[in-house]
Amino acid sequence: MHAPSAITRVDLPAPSLRYAELVDVWAVPVLRWCARLGGPRIDPEDAAQDVFERVVRRLDSVRDPATLPAWLFAITRRVVIDHRRRAWLRRWVPGSVPDVADPRAHPTDDADTARVVRDVLDVLPRDLREVLVLTDLEERTADEVAALTGLPVGTVKSRLRRARARFEALARRRGLEPDGSDDGGPR
């Protein structure tokens, strides 16, 4: 490696990434990720604001604009993990979290259903929650999820199978039954 020209080193030209444009385009997706991956115990606005505070400090490190979505998702993932850790212990502090409806009661309307779904997503392991949210809530293909998360497509598909099975078992335990809908086939 010390021989002349042994290893390729390439300095790429800096892409033109205007921060204001980035915020305009990505505020909504980042907020969605914070809400859907963070679960009901974190404040998605707080988390999204933390995401952009990190983005503005590190945007110069992005050499290729094509990597921006994956880079943003990685930052959002780390911020959500931090917020979830802080919220994890706070739930045991009396009065610090709102009462949660009895999970054994059968949901009766759309808001209750949404809450049960979010509670189930909240208890899934992080790697399963991510692929389930990105695929089944945000309707991305396995290739798109792989590009966003940096996982091989095969890994995305196998995690999605496990995530769906776990989701279904947990949802049924909470009194939620399938709604009979058809999503049109595998993605």
Partner 1 sequence: MNGWHGHLRSARRATEPDVAAVDRVRRHALAAEAPPDRGRRALPWIAAAAFAGLACVAGWLGAHWRGEPDLALSETLAGPGAVAVSPDVRLAFDGTGSVGGTPRAPEIHWTSGRVHVEVTPARGIALVVDTREARVEVVGTGFDVERSALGTEVSVAHGRVNVRCADASAGSLGPGERMVCLPTTAAAWMGRARALAAAGAADADVLDAIDHGLARCAEPSPELGELLVLRLGVLLDAGRPDEARATAERYLASGATERLAEVRAIAEQLRAR
- What residues line the site for partner 1 (CB under 8 A)? 1-4, 6-12, 14, 19-20, 23-24, 27-28, 30-32, 35-36, 44-45, 48-49, 52-53, 55-57, 60-61, 63, 88-90, 92-94, 96, 110-111, 113-118, 121, 125-127, 136-138, 164, 167-168, 171, 176, 178-183
CB of 161 to partner 1, least distance (A): 10
**CA–CA dist 107, 9 (Å, integer):** 59
CB-nearer residue toward partner 1: 8 or 104: 8
Q: Count Cβ atoms below 10 Å from residue 43 Cβ, excluding itself.
A: 13
CA separation for the pair 90, 134 (Å, rounded): 27
We find the least distance from the C-beta atom of residue 153 to partner 1, in angstroms, to be 16
Contacts of 7 (CB under 8 A, 6+ apart): 1
The distance of Cα 27 from the centroid of its chain, to the nearest Å, equals: 14
Q: Which is nearer to partner 1, 12 or 99 (CB)?
A: 12
Q: Could you tell me which of 118, 128, 123 has the C-alpha nearest to residue 163? A: 128
| Shortest reach from residue 33's CB to partner 1, in Å | 10
